[in-house]
Structure 1
Amino acid sequence: MPGTAHPAGTSQGLARGLAATQDGYRLNLATCGVPAGRPTAFQFTVTGPDGSPVTDFAVHQTRKLHLYAIRTDLTGFQHLHPDMADDGTWTAGLAALAPGTWRLYADFIPNTGAHATELVLSRTVTVPGKEAPVPLPAPSDSTTVDGYTVTLHAQPTTGANQLVATISQDGRPVTDLQPYLDSYAHLSAFHEGDQALAHLHPANPVNGDHGGPTLSFRALLAEPGDWRVFLQFQTAGQLHTAELTLHID
């Protein structure tokens, strides 16, 4: 929902998203192997407590399901919106994946039974070939993407903490952010080592194409260490993804 931070993956409300099952719901992949170097129509289902594929999902963040993909070295981030067939089979258009182990996260709210809580389930897939791990970039509070400078400030504490992003272009504050998934930004953060996921949206109210330059997030980064952060925002119909490493003490 707009202006709401959605903690990922556990009933404690902390960043995780590392289990394939929760509350009777299970993420099932059509295959645990993905070919290297070419786009893939990747299929999966979500089964409910009765073991049948779930076909009824609530719309949240303008979509019925969000799929994230990232390699174990926290490279290759993808945020996709798959299509579902009548039988509950989802198909996601994965861009080409480099060799290595990847984790796929499905984020959804089932409209079945009494369950109306957001779930984030994940599984890993293997892409064959010689893996060339990329070292995690050093922590930095600023990065540039498509001519935009994104600065991210965080209080160095674990648990619930405040993240504030500022977006500028050529030294001037950006004030024409467009709504993306019902808010002015979408922030995904992955913990180095275990790939725990947190995904957040700014608390700023949406008022047409007038977002920015400052966006405030209430973060649930429960584990100390380095987090790879992907901040997605939209201007003039174009989606931008800023990447940086954030350290939490």
Structure 2
Amino acid sequence: MKKWAVSALVYLLIIVGGYYVYASSYGTESHDENMPVNDNGAKSHEQGHEENNVNHNGDSEVIPSLKVHNGELIITLNDLDGNPVSDLEVNHEKLMHLIVVSTDLKGYKHLHPQMVEPGVFKISHSLPVGEYKAFVDIKPIGKEYETAPIPFMTGEVHNENSLIVDSELTKEAGGHTVKLIPSSLKVNEEIQLTFDLTGNTPEPYLGALGHVVILDQKGKNYIHVHPLAGNEPVFATKFSEPGIYKIWAEFKFNGEVFVYPYVVEIK
């Protein structure tokens, strides 16, 4: 009788121990923060097999992904449940502004993909082979969204980031000279960016006198600024961290949009 009781106890311990090992290894809750996240925010065990490049911003209820295919940039918008998002507010005459910069911040494109089906936008591109970051600038209706970089590549060439602060903030493009006059270059201050257009008056572009896009040196912090008033090239912004930033100012002259880039240091 004693031998049977000992055998039963050993058997029971084996069952309990086996269950504990199983639960520890394959339980439904995971707290491994290094595990990649898939499109709907769930943890995924598959690494390096995603076809799309995805913006995983935890503060957003809309998740954009980008794919390069047959000379096109394809942007897909999904909510946290994986459903397509197509209910967008028109923002400066467009549903989507796609800002594409090379990782060395030398190349810059301001594109406007068109919706081809619910939640899917496409646009042809002629980007050189290289490494890029895309910023999907949208205003979803009824959903929180924050723009964040989506890295992608065309080919296998990596760009090195080596920004040099401009000693002169005067640039020329398209026969027009534009000078940037910042009210300050200090962190955590409201800063006015005034552009001296040397007597030229730009044409309205996307519902505004001009547009300004700002990125930090690492290409993470995205700022899209519009003029303070309708008839003056004055823009207001604030830098929350010190560092080197690149500013692209866009103005339209004689039916053509020109880009004027500046590199500044915020202290």
Determine if the TM-score, normalized by the shorter chain, exceeds 0.5: yes
Is it true that 1:124 corresponds to 2:151 in the alignment? yes
* Structure-2 residue corresponding to 1:93: 124
Give the Cα separation in 1 of the matches to 2:159 and 2:105. 12
Shift of 1:243: 1.1
* Structure-2 residue corresponding to 1:50: 81
Q: Which runs of 5+ in 2 are unaligned?
A: 1-53
Q: Which runs of 5+ in 1 are unaligned?
A: 1-17, 206-210
| TM-score, normalisation: structure 2 | 0.72
Give the Cα separation in 1 of the matches to 2:221 and 2:127. 23
Structure 1 stretches (4+) deviating beyond 4 angstroms? Answer: none
Amino acid at match of 1:200: V
* Structure-2 residue corresponding to 1:78: 109
Alignment of 1:222-241 (within 5 A): 222-241=240-259
Give the Cα separation in 1 of the matches to 2:91 and 2:115. 15
Structure in which a larger fraction of residues adopt strand: 1
Give the Cα separation in 2 of the matches to 1:118 and 1:24. 6
Shift of 1:201: 0.9
Shift of 1:134: 6.3
| TM-score, normalisation: structure 1 | 0.76
Which among 196, 209, 224 is matched to residue 166 of structure 1? 196
Do the aligned residues in 1 keep the contact of 2:103 with 2:161 (CA within 8 Å)?
A: no
Q: How many residues align?
A: 210
1:169-214: CA deviation from partner (whole Å, max 9, x where unpaired):
xxxx11x311111111100111112432111011122xxxxx5xx5
Structure having greater relative contact order (Cα 8 Å, sep ≥ 6) = 1
* Structure-2 residue corresponding to 1:106: 136
Shift of 1:97: 2.7
Match of 2:233, SS?
Answer: strand
* Structure-1 residue corresponding to 2:42: none
Give the Cα separation in 2 of the matches to 1:217 and 1:142. 17
Match of 1:223, SS?
Answer: coil
Do the aligned residues in 2 keep the contact of 1:198 with 1:221 (CA within 8 Å)?
A: no
* Structure-1 residue corresponding to 2:26: none
Shift of 1:86: 2.4
Q: Root-mean-square deviation (CA), in Å?
A: 2.2
Structure in which a larger fraction of residues adopt helix: 2
State the structure with more CA Rg. Answer: 2
Is it true that 1:200 corresponds to 2:231 in the alignment? no
